[in-house]
Amino acid sequence: MEETPPPLLGSSKPHLEKLTLGVTRILESSPGVTEVTIIEKAPAERHMISSWEQKNNCVLPEDLKNFYLMTNGFHMTWSVKLDEHTIPLGSMAINSISKLTQLNQSAMYSLPNAPTLADLEDETQEASEDQPEKPHFDSRSVIFELDPCSGNGKVCLVYKKGKPASAQDAEIWFLDRALYWHFLTDTFTAYYRLLITHLGLPQWQYAFTGYGISPQAK
């Protein structure tokens, strides 16, 4: 079990200010925004990263490795006040290294001969001029969950050439609830900036899909 230190209100420490790119101050100064909270996490130890790489036969991208050496995961939330009610709204999350688990290994149901994600794959999803070749749920791709997106899909670290996987083959993709893939960025750093820029608003990842953000999210 991971220990969860008490949440920090705002960001009183310089490294947290740097980690959040100053977004806490922007949120705290916004009308109606309340309870801006960061759960501070200790840095991952180098042996934890080495152990993950050996276990999964994948090399973490350097920027993601450096992120984990600064904080073993990330979780920042904020709420809005409507009338007398406080409503949780924004959530920014990156799984810790121990929860950076492979997506395409488990069956969907714990029954014999149950379908796996690979069985449900839509082979009609081909690469187009503006999108690279999509990940596969079989051994052609290795997929790890970075952010469960509060149940609205999954942001994944995807290695496109199977195992053994090198860092330069990694990309960040969004898997929607209908199991369709949408390319986000080719580096973790670029994805992290997107996450902070969108303030963790619900379903913001759908802005990068062909069908866009739902009316409710807007």
pLDDT of residue 107: 42
Predicted local distance difference test score (pLDDT) of residue 157: 96
The helix, strand and coil proportions of the chain, stated in percent and rounded to the nearest 5, come to: 30, 25, 45
The pLDDT of residue 111 = 47
Q: How many C-alpha atoms does 134 have within 13 Å on its Cβ side?
A: 17
Q: Which residues of the chain are modeled with pLDDT < 70?
A: 1-18, 21, 104-131, 217-218
Quote the pLDDT of residue 57. Answer: 94
Rounded Cα gap, residues 11 and 25, in angstroms: 8
Place of tokens 């995961």: 73
Structure-block tokens of residue 75: 């979780």
Model pTM score? 0.80
pLDDT value of residue 193: 92
pLDDT reported for residue 144: 96
pLDDT of residue 195: 92
CB-based contacts of 49: which residues, under 8 Å, 6+ apart?
Answer: 60, 65, 68, 69, 97
